[in-house]
Structure 1
Amino acid sequence: MEVEKALIIKKNQLVEDTDESLSVATSNCPLFIQTRGYDDVCVSEEEKDFPIAYSLVVHKYAWMVERLIKAIYSPANIYCIHYDEKSPAPFKSAIKSLASCLPNVFIASKIEYVYYASFNRVQADLNCFSDLLRSEVKWKYLINLCGQDFPLRTNIELVSELKELNGTNMLETIRPNKYKKQRFTHNYELVGKSVLKKQLARKKKKSPPPHGIEIFVGSAYFVLSQDFIVYMNSSAVVKDFLKWSEDTFSPDEHIWATLVRIPGVPGEVPRSHPDITDLVSKTRLVKWFGYEPHLYPPCSGIHIHEVCIYSLGELRWLLNYGHWFANKFDPNMDPIPIQCLEEKLEERRKLFGC
C-alpha cells in the first residue's frame, strides 16, 4: 500500500529542486544551518575521537549533494568537495555557497575538468587527499563518494565498523579478466576536450607496470586508512604507478584495487588473498543490470549505463544487505527512497540516544 502511495506521489507531485534555490537558501547561513538541523547534530565521545574524512567528487544536483552531506554530517568530520570544472555555473555557485556555511566543509584547492574514464577523475580525488592531509583534523579513515551516493549507516555506526577494520583498507580488489586487461595494456588518449565529445581512443600497446606491480581491478570507491594515504603521498613507487596509469582507460577502476595489494603498504590486502568483490566489500552497493536477477533482485527503477537507479522497491534490500553506502540515486527520477533513507537514518540515530 505504501509503495502504491509513493508511486502516486511521484507521478503527480514531483517538483525538481533547482541549484539556484540552494544558493538562495545558503545566502543566510545561520538560518540555513538552523533550518536543516546542522546545529543540532548529536556527537558521541566515540565519534569525537574518531573523525572521518570524505572526498566528494560531484557534478550535478546541488540539493542531492547537500542531502548526502547532511546524512553523513558530524562536526567531528572533515569534508572536501571537488566539483567538476565544466559543471553549470549555478551548480558550482550553489556548492561553493553550501561549503561557505559549514566550517568543516571546504572546496578542493585545485579543481579539474573531469572526463569519463580518464585520469582526471583520479586526480580530483588526489587533490582532495592533499588538502585533507593538510587539515588540522586528525581523521582516521578516508571515504570517497560521488553526488548520487547515499549512506545506509549513521555516523556512529560507521565509526563503530571502521574501528573493527583496525587499520586495514576496505574496497573491491579482484584479478582482471581478459576484457578488463585491455584497459591498461594499451595507451589511451582523450579525444576532444569538450563537454559533448570526451571519448578515449586506443593508440598502441603499453609497457608493463613499473616496479613489477601486479594489476588488480575494482571500483573507483574505497575506504582507506590515513596511514595508507600518508604512504601514498610519499611513496616513489606509488608516484611511478600513478604516472604510468595516466594513459589507461578508466584508471580509477584499477589504481586503488592495485595499490592496496602492494606488499608492505599500510592496511595491505595480500596478493595471495582471494578476490574481494563489490558484494563482499561493504564500501558501495551497486546493482548492475548484467547480474540481475542472479545476484540480486531485479531493479525496480530504471537503468542508466547498466546501473540501477534505485526506486522505492529497493529500500528493504538496501537496508538489509549490510553495505555502508549505495549508488545510484536520482532525485528527479525518484526522490522517495532518498527521503525514506533520511527518515530511517534519523530513527537509527535516536537508538543511540541522539
Structure 2
Amino acid sequence: MNAKRSMLKLRKKFIPSLLSVLTVIILLLVSAKYIYIPEFLDPPPAPTSQSFVKHNISCKAIYDMDPVEVGKSLIIRRKTVVEDKDERLIDFTGNCPVFRKIRGYDDLCVSEEEKIFPIAYSLVVHKNAWMVERLLRAVYSPNNVYCIHYDKKSSAQFVAAMEGLSSCLPNVFISSKLETVFYASISRLKADLNCLSDLLTSEVKWKYVINLCGQDFPLKSNMELVSELRGLKGSSMLETSRPSEHKKQRFLYRYELQDASFEYKKLPVKTQQAKSPPPHNIEMFIGNAYFVLSREFIQFMNSSAVVRDFLAWSEDTYSPDEHFWATLVRLPGVPGEVPRSQPDITDLMSKTRLVKWQYLEENLYPPCSGQHVRSVCIFGAAELHWLLNYGHWFANKFDPKVDPILLQCLEEKLEEKQKLFQKGTMLTCPKVILQPY
C-alpha cells in the first residue's frame, strides 16, 4: 500500500513536468519546420503579404452562385482589407529570382499557337502597385511584351515598385517618355501613344496591342485571347459610335486645364471659344479609351500626317482618348477599318471592356454586388459567373479593398482555363532569363 502511495506521489510530481518538457520540444520542432529556409534562397519577403492572402473559400461554389459560399464572401468582405504598401513590392522585387518563383512567372509555359502570335500591352497606371502586379501577372506570358507608363505625379514608392517589376521581367519595360496625366485631358491619350511608339521598336513582333489601366482585369486566359484575336483577321475591336449632341460639346468648344479638387489636381474646363472643324474633313465618332488594335494599324498611325494633324486638333478637347481611336478606325482605307456605313459599335458590343453603369443596372445587366464610384460598379464576388460568361475580354473596375474574393477567384479561374486550353498542345516552358531590355 505504501508503495502505491509513493508511485502516485511521483506521478503527480513528475508528469506535469514531463508534459511541459514535451510541449516545449514539440513547439521547437514546429518552429524549426516553419522557419527553415534553404541556404540557396534569401528569405522571401512577401509570402505573408496581404496582397497574396488566400481566403478559405470555394471559387467553384462562388462561380455556381452557391448562396452559402456567396454569403461567406460577403462576411470576408466586411472585414477591413489592408492592402500592402508599395514599399513591400519594392522589397519583394529586390530579389528577382525569389519574386519570379513565388509569383509563378518562372512556371509559365507557351503553346506553339501563342508563340507565333505575341500580344503587346500598354499599361497606363498611377497608384496601387500591388494591384498593378496582379494585373500584370494575370496577363503575363513570356512571349508577349509589356510597356508600363506611370504618371509623373505618382509617388516615389510607386515609381520604384514599377521599376522593380520591369527589372525582374525581361519583356516588361517602362515607357521612354512619361506624361503628367490629368483626368480627361490629352495627357491620358499621350501616355498610351508613348507606349505604342516604344512597342513598335520592340524586338517582339507582336500582332495586336491592348491598353489597360490599373483597375482592369482580364476575363480570358492568354490562350483564349490569342484564339479570339486571330479570329479578327486584322480588324480592330473597340467602341465607335456617332456622337450625341451632348457628346459633341466635348469637341465643338475649346477646353482649358484649370486647378481642380485634390483628387484630380487639374481638369479640362469648357470655354466659350468655338473650335474649327476637324482637319481633313474627318467625321467624328466617340467611344471609350480602350482599344484592341493590329500592329499594321499602329504602324499606319505612327507615320500618318492625317493622324498627326488630328492629334494636334484634339489637344484642347475634352477626354480626347474617347474620340481619337473611335474616329481613326473609321477613316477610309486604314488597316482594320470599321466602315462609316457600319452601325454603331457600343461598349456592350465591343469586347474590349465590360463596365457596369449604375443607371443601366437591372435594365442591361444585373445590379452591382460591390460598390459604386462615380456611377461605375466596382465588381463583387457575386458577379464572377456573369463576368466570365458575358463574352468580353477585360472588365473594369476591380479593387481588392472592396472585394478580395473576386480577384482571388478570377486568378484561379484564369489559371484553370489556360491549362485547359493548353492541354494536348506542344508546350515550351522557358525560364525567365534576365537581360536588359
TM-score, normalisation: structure 2: 0.80
Q: List per-residue Cα deviations over 1:64-115 (Å, max 9, x = no partner).
A: 1111111111011000000111011111111111111000000000111000
Are 2:223 and 2:422, in contact at CA under 8 Å, matched by a contact in 1? no
User: 1:201 is matched with which residue?
Assistant: 269
CA distance in 2, matches of 1:347, 1:136: 30
Partner AA of 1:225 in structure 2: S
User: Structure 2 matches for 1:1-354, cutoff 5 A?
Assistant: 1-12=68-79, 14-192=81-259, 197-203=265-271, 204-353=273-422
SS at the partner of 1:303?
strand
User: 2:9 is matched with which residue?
Assistant: none
User: Judging changes above 3 Å, is the alpha-carbon distance between structure 1 residues 238 and 196 closer, same or farther for their aligned structure 2 residues?
Assistant: closer
Identical aligned residues as a percent: 69
Partner AA of 1:105 in structure 2: V
Q: List per-residue Cα deviations over 1:239-279 (Å, max 9, x = no partner).
A: 00000000000001000000000000000000000000010
CA distance in 2, matches of 1:36, 1:105: 15
Shift of 1:25: 0.7
Shift of 1:197: 3.2
SS at the partner of 2:204?
coil
Moved more, 232-241 or 285-294: 285-294
Shift of 1:3: 1.1
Shift of 1:10: 2.0
Q: CA RMSD in A?
A: 1.2
Are 2:111 and 2:422, in contact at CA under 8 Å, matched by a contact in 1? no
CA distance in 2, matches of 1:296, 1:64: 26
Larger Rg: 2
SS at the partner of 1:218?
coil
User: Judging changes above 3 Å, is the alpha-carbon distance between structure 1 residues 319 and 196 closer, same or farther for their aligned structure 2 residues?
Assistant: closer
User: 2:17 is matched with which residue?
Assistant: none
User: Judging changes above 3 Å, is the alpha-carbon distance between structure 1 residues 13 and 303 closer, same or farther for their aligned structure 2 residues?
Assistant: closer
CA distance in 2, matches of 1:104, 1:49: 16
Partner AA of 1:238 in structure 2: V
Partner AA of 2:190 in structure 1: Q
User: Judging changes above 3 Å, is the alpha-carbon distance between structure 1 residues 211 and 353 closer, same or farther for their aligned structure 2 residues?
Assistant: closer
Are 2:123 and 2:213, in contact at CA under 8 Å, matched by a contact in 1? yes
CA distance in 2, matches of 1:348, 1:13: 31
Are 2:268 and 2:318, in contact at CA under 8 Å, matched by a contact in 1? yes
Moved more, 193-202 or 267-276: 193-202
Partner AA of 1:52 in structure 2: I
User: Judging changes above 3 Å, is the alpha-carbon distance between structure 1 residues 25 and 196 closer, same or farther for their aligned structure 2 residues?
Assistant: same
Partner AA of 1:340 in structure 2: C
Q: List per-residue Cα deviations over 1:157-201 (Å, max 9, x = no partner).
A: 000000000000000000000110000000001113986531222
Partner AA of 2:140 in structure 1: Y
Q: List per-residue Cα deviations over 1:32-67 (Å, max 9, x = no partner).
A: 001111011010011110000000000111111111
Moved more, 228-237 or 92-101: 92-101
Are 2:241 and 2:286, in contact at CA under 8 Å, matched by a contact in 1? yes
User: 2:55 is matched with which residue?
Assistant: none
Shift of 1:9: 1.7
SS at the partner of 1:76?
coil
SS at the partner of 2:190?
helix
Consecutive unaligned residues in structure 1, runs of 5 or more: none
CA distance in 1, matches of 2:162, 2:196: 19
CA distance in 1, matches of 2:76, 2:374: 27
Are 2:238 and 2:352, in contact at CA under 8 Å, matched by a contact in 1? yes
TM-score, normalisation: structure 1: 0.98
Shift of 1:292: 1.2
Q: How many aligned residue pairs are there?
A: 354
Shift of 1:13: 6.2
User: Judging changes above 3 Å, is the alpha-carbon distance between structure 1 residues 196 and 220 closer, same or farther for their aligned structure 2 residues?
Assistant: closer
SS at the partner of 1:103?
coil
Are 1:86 and 1:195, in contact at CA under 8 Å, matched by a contact in 2? no
Are 2:224 and 2:421, in contact at CA under 8 Å, matched by a contact in 1? no
Q: List per-residue Cα deviations over 1:133-152 (Å, max 9, x = no partner).
A: 01111000000000110000
